[in-house]
Structure 1
Amino acid sequence: MPHLTRTLSLAAVVLFGVAYMAPIIVLGTFGELAKETRGNVPMAYLAAAVAMFFTALSYSHMAKAYPVAGSAYTYVRRSISNKLGFLAGWVILLDYFFIPMVIWLIGASFLHDAFPSVSLSLWLIAFIVVTTVINVIGLEFAKSVNSLLMIIQILIIAAFVTLSIHYVTTDGTTPLFSLKPFWNEYAHLSYILAGGAVACYSFLGFDAVTTLADETKDPQKTIPRAIILVTLAGSVLFIVTSYFVQLAHPSFIFQHIDSAAIEIAKKIGGDVFVSFFLIGLVVGQFASGVSAQTSASRLLYAMGKDNVISKNFFGKLNNRFSTPTNNILLCGVIALIGTQIDVLTAASFINFGAFLAFMFVNLSVINHFWVREKQRSGWQILSYLIFPVIGLGTTFWLFISLDKLAFTLGIIWLCLGIIYLAFLTNMFKKDPPEMQFD
């Protein structure tokens, strides 16, 4: 009988999480964040990093307590209640469904701008087909592809930062070390929080690695370490990169917000560098798409094993490759919706579900370690009470900074989940089916 095999090392899991973040997206979304924060992009990433670090600590604690696939769904279900666990899985499922589509749509949009004779839909379909084939074949193949694509991304980011530094030092009007990118004359806390709420989208890689627990060597140690390492790596990369880019272009005004990074690339490196940057950005979106589709399919597999959703469809593995092929293909089919909607509409779903799930996980740590197990001495006070409260508070602060469209769409999805839970539990009279952790 096919089964998931434990082949992934710490390095491979960290690589997966960082690839899921698509590090080069810090450049791809720079214009939108610059506009949102009034030219204080690094501060938005710093605010997001603080919130995400404390939440990542909570994830690492829960990953050690429950070293199995399922992400927030598993942690909340086992530590608080089956019904809340289902809702945590439901809201994060929305993210996992839509993140691959958003990633592929961004890449397709850039390619369509560069080659307008080829339709955006055709580029999107090409992304979907190639990524789906890689994931059906299996994680070992995907790991090899991601290693190459990550190297290309990092080189492009390093070149962008180096050219930004060269531009600033040559220009001579701005010091290389300044607080202005973090807090300029237009800065306001509401702008920073709104930008931070958007920037958190880039940090979802630490959640994604938890879905690989069933395929990781010694997951009880490896997954918690990977969660922290992915969060720290992303924080440093996003803050440092956005700092030097903001120095090179202090203004938050661009000819085209969506392609602001191309405008900056031309400013600091000319037309030749613009070409290299475009290639790197598309490669980054492709690498992130591989990871995003993998995570979505694994979360569906975890819920399928539980029979919360159809076990016959979602809980099956391919006989040849031992991968959840049905789920991988479903993610690809859902992404075809991207041919009919734009990036902003799709992305508006994502952070609502992520923040809600993050708050659930912070509460899980408090309930599991502090309340149930009564671990309340010394360092445990910080680890299992104060830090999760900080994670909960900062995440809630970003949550209420989301725009109205995100709330509206998110509430609709949450209500659908509550209705389905009522159906599944005979109007909440019984628990959802129990997950089998094998």
Structure 2
Amino acid sequence: MSSPSPSLKRSLSLTSVVAFGLSYMAPSLVMVIFGIIAAASSGTAPTAFLIATLAVLLTALSYARMAGEYPESGSAYSYARRLIGAPVGFLVGWSLLLDYLFLPMVAWLTQSIYLNAQYPDIPIWIWMLINAGLTTGVNILGVVLSDRVNKVMAGAAMLIVLLFAAFCVVHLLGSPPRSVGDAWWNSGSTVSGVFGAAAIAAYSFLGFDAVTTLSEETKDPRRTIPRAVVLIMAIGGALFIGVALLMQLVHPGGEFDDPQIAGYTLSIQVGGQEFADWTNMAAIVAGFGSGLAVQLSSSRLLFTMGRDGVLPRRVFGALNSRTKTPVYALLVTGAMCFVGLSFDLTLATSFINFGAFSAFTVVNLCVVVHYVRNRRRRRLNPVTHLALPAAGAVVTLWMLTQLGGTALASGLLWLAAGFLYLLWLTRGFRRPTPRMTLDDAAEGQAPEPARA
């Protein structure tokens, strides 16, 4: 008799899942990239964020529908296996490895660069080890502790952004009237420029989908995860648009001495040097929550693929008997900090974007396939289950084409390597692609066979 598949412990509420998603997205990111978006859109950053919100919302709705149908860890990887086929699911999971392996590394590296700027006597590599070590330790001790720490960090991040927004409002009340209309569209605006800026702004939302990897640790996941996905997008989108509008009113137009530090410059303008320094430090501390959430979801994808036998099962598919956490998967993601010490940040970000937008496209297609298969035996709305996800697939494919040549070339090479690994794993497709080993009976449904 075969031993039961390892399963994760259900302990997360709707509030917990939303907090993880918001931490993953990093609310203070709007302050960091505002200058880049404003410059690209000729001073209409809120319009770019609005378009990005609406575009990504289409994919968020698709994730919500799939999470309600299949509440299991693995996210896009699991949906593609069930609905399109095991080989496609494998390649989606392989593509997502770019996203989930490099995201923790980039989070720690960015954090370490800012800490080094604040405390230059301590080198970046020491900050990397500290950041990776702390988040790995907290996540190994269990999802309950991670949840508590993450709620505090998510609250701190939101407080920072809201405090900055309040200072912007006070500054505007004491300044000459500004044209709100020009912040949305002005004489220098172009459709191509604003949509190009929206493609950049869409990267700010990467992470709303990560909460679907927590399905097996969430209470009542069929209801909780879909609601959480939509709430995360709604809260994040409203926050990004609102703060971008205030910042654009404080600094009309899209010309900056250095767009990359425009947020820090505006902090000085609205609150003074001391306020800017404290805000910068608080953002660094709050960023710890983002690294925590990123590593947590990354380890869950590795655990699911290890449990399936796609990755070595003894390493990635094992859970600690006491903490019920995938310790080895967490240690592997933690070890990525060493890669970050010598890796190019721009290329790492390109990998992340390629993996994310590829997965987004496939999840939208999964909803379409689900509609086609089930439309005769279930009452499914063709608008919400066909038209909207099809539009979402078109939008995410377009976003994929907006990436640079290096990103596309690197991503396609990684995908080709995954296909070769799949050929070896299946001995030229003479063996089946490793199947899902989830305990579907626990969810009250019969397991679906993997499709070769």
**Which TM-score band applies after superposition, normalised by the shorter structure?**
over 0.9
- Quick one: which of 288, 291, 295 aligns to 1:289? 291
1:131 match: secondary structure: helix
Structure 2 counterpart of 1:158 = 162
Residue by residue over 1:207-259, the C-alpha shift from the partner in whole angstroms, topping out at 9 and shown as x without a partner, is 11110111111111111111111111111111111111111112433333332
Over the residues paired in the alignment, what is the CA RMSD in angstroms? Answer: 1.8
Write the mapping of 1:50-199 to structure 2, written as runs, cut at 5 A: 50-175=54-179, 178-199=180-201
Structure 2 counterpart of 1:437 = 438
- Opposite residue 363 of structure 2, the aligned amino acid is V
Gaps of 5+ in 1: none
- Opposite residue 425 of structure 1, the aligned amino acid is T
- Opposite residue 322 of structure 1, the aligned amino acid is K
Distance 1:425 1:45 in 2: 44
- Opposite residue 148 of structure 1, the aligned amino acid is V
Query: Given the superposition, is the C-alpha separation of residues 213 and 377 from structure 1 closer, same or farther in structure 2, using an over 3 Å criterion?
Result: closer
Corresponding position: 1:11 with 2:15: yes
* TM-score, normalization by structure 2: 0.92
Write the mapping of 1:274-353 to structure 2, written as runs, cut at 5 A: 274-353=276-355
- Quick one: which of 362, 365, 382 aligns to 2:364? 362
* TM-score, normalization by structure 1: 0.95
- 184-193 vs 397-406, greater mean Cα deviation: 184-193
Structure 2 counterpart of 1:413 = 414
- Shift in Å, 1:375: 5.1
Tell me, yes or no, if the aligned pair for 2:153 and 2:287 is still in contact at 8 Å.
no
Structure 2 counterpart of 1:384 = 385
- Shift in Å, 1:417: 1.2
2:280 match: secondary structure: helix
Corresponding position: 1:250 with 2:252: yes
Query: Given the superposition, is the C-alpha separation of residues 179 and 92 from structure 1 closer, same or farther in structure 2, using an over 3 Å criterion?
Result: farther
Query: Given the superposition, is the C-alpha separation of residues 255 and 424 from structure 1 closer, same or farther in structure 2, using an over 3 Å criterion?
Result: same
- Shift in Å, 1:431: 3.1
- Shift in Å, 1:114: 1.8
Residue by residue over 1:123-170, the C-alpha shift from the partner in whole angstroms, topping out at 9 and shown as x without a partner, is 222111111111111111111111111222112111111111222232
Distance 1:268 1:154 in 2: 18
- Shift in Å, 1:378: 7.6
- Opposite residue 155 of structure 2, the aligned amino acid is I
- Shift in Å, 1:70: 0.5
Distance 1:65 1:76 in 2: 13
- Shift in Å, 1:343: 3.0
Residue by residue over 1:102-140, the C-alpha shift from the partner in whole angstroms, topping out at 9 and shown as x without a partner, is 112222111212222221222222111111111111111
Distance 1:160 1:194 in 2: 27
2:62 match: secondary structure: helix
Structure 2 counterpart of 1:227 = 229
Structure 2 counterpart of 1:238 = 240
Distance 2:102 2:245 in 1: 29
- 400-409 vs 264-273, greater mean Cα deviation: 400-409
Distance 1:260 1:113 in 2: 16
Query: Given the superposition, is the C-alpha separation of residues 186 and 235 from structure 1 closer, same or farther in structure 2, using an over 3 Å criterion?
Result: same
- Opposite residue 216 of structure 1, the aligned amino acid is T
Percent identity between matched residues is 40
Structure 2 counterpart of 1:426 = 427
- Shift in Å, 1:367: 0.6
Distance 2:345 2:240 in 1: 21
Report the count of equivalent residues.
435
Tell me, yes or no, if the aligned pair for 2:79 and 2:366 is still in contact at 8 Å.
yes
- 140-149 vs 295-304, greater mean Cα deviation: 140-149
1:181 match: secondary structure: helix
Query: Given the superposition, is the C-alpha separation of residues 200 and 375 from structure 1 closer, same or farther in structure 2, using an over 3 Å criterion?
Result: farther
1:341 match: secondary structure: coil
- Opposite residue 41 of structure 1, the aligned amino acid is A
- Shift in Å, 1:435: 0.9
- Quick one: which of 198, 218, 221 aligns to 2:220? 218
Structure 2 counterpart of 1:373 = 374
Tell me, yes or no, if the aligned pair for 2:157 and 2:287 is still in contact at 8 Å.
no
1:172 match: secondary structure: coil
Distance 1:120 1:189 in 2: 40
Distance 2:394 2:209 in 1: 18
Structure 1 counterpart of 2:209 = 207
2:184 match: secondary structure: coil
Query: Given the superposition, is the C-alpha separation of residues 155 and 82 from structure 1 closer, same or farther in structure 2, using an over 3 Å criterion?
Result: same
Structure 2 counterpart of 1:48 = 52
